[in-house]
Amino acid sequence: SQKIEQNSEALNIQEGKTATLTCNYTNYSPAYLQWYRQDPGRGPVFLLLIRENEKEKRKERLKVTFDTTLKQSLFHITASQPADSATYLCALGMNTGFQKLVFGTGTRLLVSP
Amino acid sequence: NAGVMQNPRHLVRRRGQEARLRCSPMKGHSHVYWYRQLPEEGLKFMVYLQKENIIDESGMPKERFSAEFPKEGPSILRIQQVVRGDSAAYFCASHPQGGKETQYFGPGTRLLVL
């Protein structure tokens, strides 16, 4: 069956450390993968997109890797800050002729001062 | 430039009533998606619309749910005869014609069915 999995347990880290979140999937062949941030009571906000032929993407303190062999993406936040505390969602993008996204359940990140 | 707008932000309905959720995409965006987010679950695709056309409604329940995106005005997600299981957050997202895979989400409507 098709699955997209993110660690359901919250990730607690100390300010200044690097947070690493994982997204694994099975029985999908995504053309691209996206990461979103979602704060309580708000809609998701797009952060980064990485395509199937890309290994790594960076944006400021954010880094995403995409391994289509392992069927896994890692999302890193370096020099984390309390303001980074949120739920982070990964989403698979399919080649369906339109942007059909399949979302994971998200991982909650808590950065302590 | 205002973002995606949804209203109402919170909606309470009794079982059997109708719920109408509205979404105004970002200015210049002609593509709208609706998603549902149940507690402790990921966002689930429901329907994809362009102006006056439903392109894909494969994620929408066959009964009681309908969506439209008229030439003028917001996109509407309509749920008839609501049941408690319809309680969820409903998000819409938009992107422009030829958008580069980025969807812009609204703040969501939280529907509570009593």
- Give mean pLDDT, residues B83-101: 86
Burial B17-28 (b: 16+ CB within 10 A, else e): eebebbbbbbee
Residues linked to residue A21 through DSSP beta bridges, in sequence order: A75
Average pLDDT over chain B, rounded to an integer: 92
- How do beta strands A101-103 and A86-93 pair? antiparallel
Distance from CA of A4 to the nearest CA of B (A): 10
Whether B31 and A98 lie within 8 Å, measured CB to CB: yes
CB atoms within 10 A of CB B35: 24
Per-position DSSP letters for A51-66, written without gaps between them: ETT-SEEEETTEEEEE
The closest CB to that of B95, out of A99, A100, A102, belongs to: A99
**What residues of B are in contact with residue A32 (Cβ under 8 Å)?**
101
- What's the pLDDT tens digit per position in A10-24? 999 999 999 999 999
Residue B1 pLDDT:
54
- What's the pLDDT tens digit per position in A22-41? 999 999 999 999 999 999 98
- What's the pLDDT tens digit per position in B35-47? 999 987 889 999 9
pLDDT band at A7 (very low <50, low <70, confident <90, very high): confident
